[in-house]
Structure 1
Amino acid sequence: MTRPASRTSADRLARLLNLVPYLLARPGIEIAEAAGDLGVTERQLREDLELLWVCGLPGYGPGDLIDMAFDGDRVTITYDAGIDRPLRLTPDEALALVVALRMLAETPGVANREAIERALAKIEDAAGDLVGAPVAVRLPGDARRVEALRAAVEGGRALRIVYYTAARDETTERVIDPLRMLMVGGRAYVEAWCRRAEAVRLFRADRIDAITELDEPATVPPQAVPHDLAGGVFRPSPDLPLITLRIGRSERWITEYYPCERVEAGDGDQWLVSLRVTDLSWARRFVLGLGPGATVVAPVELAEQVRATAAAALDAYAVPAPVAGSGGSAPDTAAAPDAGSEAAARDTATSGSAAS
């Protein structure tokens, strides 16, 4: 069975790092003996020694690279390029490590936070004043909300939450049994069994409006299996609605932000883009948000929804607002709707029509 290349590379790197101090402690050792101690063939050891010859300090000239002398089948390290000296961090390196560890400690779902905090304390203690500058690391969103979710996960408690679902533009109350906290795309999520949906769901922390810890343990049924999020939170499937849009240059960003099934060049600067959506209600709001630069090509149902919504907005501009104290009727001298707003609504209504 062939070993993975990454594993072989990792093994060789570890061997090379140990090889120099090993040889320094045994000047003039026979290559056969060294190979036996290190668990490699003589040929592999000779290849490692040849690689060491091009390793060393920046500059990579005489006096910078590791050097050695051969006497028959014996080898002696003559210059170790400082590899035997204790590691010293520069101020920038120490600060970078501290910031990275602080961020890791704040990340939801990270196991063994105590080990991270111990490592952070050791680096801060060793670096001393090098990392004395005030550096605050906080994840985006409400830190108290994330901490409450994390505590519920670690304590195994059920939660009652008020959650905003962007796909349906609605707020609901749910009771959930948390499974884990995780970070995806820079956002904190709690994955939980939702008793309302009777399924495992992901809840974005910044869309949870209220959290109440219940006086009962989390009860996760056997069929509750965490999602595989290697490909991201949203994973389009063939059973979801497929929409096709004609977009201009300024709307091309959606092809990088959303997973698209098809992107084709159209006339001029226009592109035809097809993507899966959770439902057409979300797609309608999405298209309206793009403005007049996007036109619905398919499905016809979505085009009609966009056109109807935009037309209703246009009609709202055409009705003068009632004047206070007039009994609900507006005077003949009521101000006309803003011309720019009316034109924008008319453009949006036009963009919602299906292409012929």
Structure 2
Amino acid sequence: MKFSTVKSNIINELSILQGIVEKRTTMPILSNVLMKAESGKVELMGTDLEVGIRTDFEAEVKEPGVAAVNGRKVFDFIRLLPDDRNIDFTKKDDQLVIKAGESEIKIVTADEEDFPPIQECNFEKGFSWPLADFKEMIDCVFYAITQEQRYYLNGALLSLKNNQLELVSTDGHRLSYTRREFSEVKVDKEINQIISKKTLNELRKFENEKIDFDFDDNSLFFRVKNRVLISRIIESKFPNYQAVIPKDNPNKMIINKEELSSAIRRVSILSAEKSKGIKFSLSPGELKLFSSNPEIGEARDRLEVEYEGQALEIGFNSQYLLDFMETVGSEKVRFEIKDENSAVLIRPEEEEKGHYLYILMPMKI
């Protein structure tokens, strides 16, 4: 294998693989990227067996061939080269020689036959939508995905219904739901798939172009221009999230998002480190916030609000509240509360794009 390219062609494609290539692994081959040079381009592949990425870049291919080489070392060397450098790649026996001017590195290659196969997809189903909008949806659910043993909580549920795309996540303490309509999405039969947290995180790194989506019995496929991400399906049943959305909530508060976020941050300074608990005391026209730590002290704050309902006190994890506040786009947010022991529904007061709901369980303070 022998080819030449410029740094600007290869560096971004190597960069996008760094989140996939395993740094510490019991399978050494997974620390490698597979390079496949042929007819004017070089294909790069990386996988951790859960997520795989295929991408390519333009190159002057002098001798077609394949090499499996440590992905991090190649990236680090090329990253430190001047931007305008031409780079020559040559596979000699069991080494990949990379040379740019007077700079040269030789890296021992692995047996490419040991590299796990990465599925291909022709994207026949024709589902697509703008990635910029999808990233905003990912941000709305990402924080509520957990990494515990219940596999269905290790990702977000993606649902396609008619021309609607939904994402839902839950960690057992809270649930986040977002929905948007895309004219490009048309399905005859409802589609439900769980997407892993790692997959969602890698998609956030892709350029804001159109994203194509497809799937089979084992994998989900996402394509953005020349990059294809392949994700192993999480084989589990997602909880019936519709059943936990509270319907009867007579107590309603509307409040400025920035004012509430600032007050939560101030009061939570003295909340217990583990629980991060703060107390809301609600009455017509006002919200009082309170936290205490027996070893340090206590903190209080007060805000003017629009509130309809009975006086009540309810506790929350302050970080869970801030997670929602940091992703909601509206100036004001609405809290809909049944009582101090029931799940609370929080949503934007004004919704410019789609639909966003957050269900949060209270905590005892």
* Same fold at TM > 0.5: no
Bigger relative contact order, structure 1 or 2, given CA contacts below 8 A and separation 6+?
A: 2
Which structure shows the higher strand fraction?
2
TM range (shorter): under 0.3
Which structure shows the higher helix fraction?
1
